[in-house]
Amino acid sequence: MYKVIIIDDEPVIVQGLTKSIKWEQYECEVVGTASSGLEGLELMEKEQPDIVFSDIRMPHMDGLSMIAAAKSQYPDMEISILTGFQDFEYARAAIRLGVTRFLVKPSRMDELQEAVQTMADNLRAKGIAPEHERVTEVPTAEQLAALENETEADGVGMNAHMEENAESGEVTEASSFLVNNALKYMQEHYREKLKLQDVADQVYVSQWHLSKLLNRYKGQSFSDILNNIRIEKAKELLNDPSLRIGDIADMVGFLDMAHFSRVFKRQTGVSANEYRNTLK
């Protein structure tokens, strides 16, 4: 059976979907439900579902961010949205991120059934069979040894290798959306003592996944991107002669002057004081 989860903060919707659709007719079964986006992402990680029905406007999470996080990490997952808001721009954005159907509540039964059938057909087209038909191939000792040697050589783990191969156009859209949100958050919070985990939490993915995406899309590590933002802000502040360089270092988020000086010179080729002198 294809594994289905339902995410909605309205219990009547969850119960209605669970009981009104003859899931077995589509080789599907509901394996879990969640009442919030965060709870839904945790359930996705636990159950690894094939199909998701989700509301897009729930407390404590932007629905588009949830979709981007889900499609970026689980590229083959089929998602249909149920919403009480008929918003064309929102629907278009959701579809760009890889949503299969955008349904407005209250949805007709034939619309729901068509969505389930389409998602099941899409999974088949991708070569993904229902769970009971899947054959788990046990690797030989020689295959495991070869894989270990390969991953040690290039520094990429098995999961990373599989995810890289699975990436498709729609996932790129979701990942790009996610990266842009991460960069926006860094631009707004660079003054704080930011860690990779802090930003990953804001875009609802693991820090490992975010780190991989930043390297793929920006060609830089989290630390390098954050330092670039801070140094650009520092260069702007150096135009104000009333500000001491030590104060500027603190204002852009560096914990000590020595670290700021090293990073500034590495990225500009001159010291902060020399850079200020060029502005006169």
CATH of range 225-278; options 1.20.1740.10, 1.10.150.120, 3.40.50.620, 1.10.10.60: 1.10.10.60
Q: What CATH architecture is 2-133? A: 3-Layer(aba) Sandwich (3.40)
pLDDT(61) > 80 = no
Q: What is the pLDDT of residue 79?
A: 95
Q: What is the pLDDT of residue 178?
A: 94
CA distances (Å), origin 68, targets 1, 43, 163, 203, 235: 25, 16, 15, 9, 34
Confidence grade of residue 88 (pLDDT, cut at 50, 70, 90): confident
Confidence grade of residue 169 (pLDDT, cut at 50, 70, 90): very low
Q: What is the pLDDT of residue 28?
A: 95
pLDDT(105) > 70 = yes
Least confidently predicted of 129-138, 158-167, 172-181: 158-167
pLDDT higher at 243 or 90: 243
Q: Which two tokens stand for residue 209?
A: 């996944």
The DSSP code for 74 is -
Classify the C-alpha dihedral 255-261-267-271 as positive or negative. Answer: positive
> What mean pLDDT comes out for the span 75-103?
88
**For 182-201, what is each residue's pLDDT tens digit?**
999 999 999 999 999 999 99
pLDDT higher at 78 or 142: 78
pLDDT higher at 29 or 165: 29
The DSSP code for 196 is H
Q: What is the pLDDT of residue 144?
A: 59
The domain segmentation of the chain, as residue ranges, is 2-133, 225-278
Confidence grade of residue 148 (pLDDT, cut at 50, 70, 90): low
Q: pLDDT averaged over the chain?
A: 86
Residue 19 to residue 37: CA distance in whole angstroms: 22
Q: What is the pLDDT of residue 37?
A: 85
Q: What is the pLDDT of residue 165?
A: 38
